[in-house]
Structure 1
Amino acid sequence: MNNIKNKFSIKDLENLTGIKAHTIRIWEKRYNLLKPKRTGTNIRYYDLASFQKLLNVSYLNNNGYKISKIATIKEQEIPDLVRKIASESNLESHAINAFKLSMLNFDQALFYNTYESLLKEMDFEDTFYEIFIPLLTEIGLLWQTDTISPAHEHFLTSLLRQKILINTEKVQSKQINKSTKTFVLYLPENEIHELGLMFINHQLVSKGYQSIFLGFSVPMESLKDLQNYYDEIIYVSYFTVKPEKADIDDYLKDFSKLLVNTTNTELWVLGHMLNSIDLDNLPSGISPFNSIQSLIDKV
């Protein structure tokens, strides 16, 4: 059974490339850059080749090429020109497009080749901050708008998870620093989006901190067990979809009462769901962060 997504609406193209549907139609009619197909019931759609071409056209346009100029370039020469520009500058945008293609095609080889090319130009940490975080943000939006299926998201995130684990293992042998802090990383119950938390674990371990990664869907009550073993704990959590808006305030209040009951215990939290609450009136001992980088900077 062929699971590759090979039919796209113009709204799909807008979501995937960031180019407005109105602009796509102009490029199509005025410059003949795309040639939509039609189903048996006369509904317009675009194939995978059209999507790939639009990514390349957008890339060239963002790098100073006018659409009128791009329209004169032979179709088979466009990918070569994109690769040439990407090798000289703006590697990030090209890599994100390549990862999108690998996701839509379930193409592991393209993912690995793109990743290895990036590592020739930057280290893993920079790759995650500059490529993977923007990519994951886009993937989240694509999933919300039904442009991609859960299978696409799981395919990509499983490969990213693999890379984080490999790189975390590489830094595990670093000597633990003399800090008395122990970081305990967990996700609340029914929260399963762990990539951000995994990368925080990598960053903490690479800096020599004691970091205990508990993973997803951890009951609050079970966290109290850690306090029998460590004197100074900073719990770190990532609220992507849980707790739900109506429950976040109560969750944080309960956490504060149950766990942040000494001067040596804190909760550091980040994630999309924090947008739903008043961050200026959080319970004592709970600190919000707007990004992974800002959290790591405080360590």
Structure 2
Amino acid sequence: MARNGGRGRYRAASADAAAYERGRRPKPAKLAQRPTLRALVEAKLALCWSPEQVAGWLRRRFPGDASMQVSHEAIYLSLYDPRRRQAIDRSLTQRLRTARPMRRPKTARKPTGRGVIRGLMSISARPAEVEDRTVPGHWEGDLVMGTRPSAVATLVERTSRYTAIVALPEGIKAEQVAPHLTQSLLAIPPQLRRTLTWDRGREMAEHQAITTATGMPIYLCKPRSPWQRGTNENTNRLLRQYLPKAADLRTFSQANLDAIAHELNHRPRKIHGYRTPAEVYADLLNGGDALTA
């Protein structure tokens, strides 16, 4: 007979069973067991606090009192886990930033290939003549966003600062942007259609088709480097007077945008000796030296 005897084996089996019961899922939610804590959490969530903010505030408000603290993950589980329906008012998911009725797992998205910019030419490969603005016909462009997904495209000639605004009524996906941008570039006289520098956005995924149609090579800036197309950035800031971020830019017709561009192009610029971009652009078209005119 074992030294512990039968009674020892019985105690061991009982301890194993108790541990098993304690380890079963789901465990009773802490918020369901502590009404005061639950009320505090619900009150803060109702104020649009995030679970992480609530958990951090509780640690600061009740230091050393574990009964009045709960992790942000436990709050999320109480809100989204269907096995914890009685733990918290689940309608408070509407007060979270995403307001999702279901929680999405944090898994990395697999690349689909959509919107990938293939065969791009970096700005580092752009001809040196673009830098000093003495050779006209080099353009910069980007999207100006309104309320998403509304946007317009802007084009600025580097030497004259002449601006064109392109309506994008269908949206900002590459296949929606390319036809309108191509049409606008083809409206530029061939002698002023040399290169285009653009931000590295997915809307330019069709850049090769645009180049084929227009004959203009397109160079893309480095990621998060808006200063590499500074002329366009400055122009876009001026255009915010007409195209506010809170506006649905799909409501602006091409005629509306042409009128805005006309007004901007006929505004005197100090850099041109208070001549207008339209005047300088006209000189470039006529083959004159716009920089000294």
With the length of structure 1 as denominator, give the TM-score of the two structures: 0.27
With the length of structure 2 as denominator, give the TM-score of the two structures: 0.27
Structure (1/2) with the larger helix percentage? 1
Rg bigger for which structure?
Answer: 2
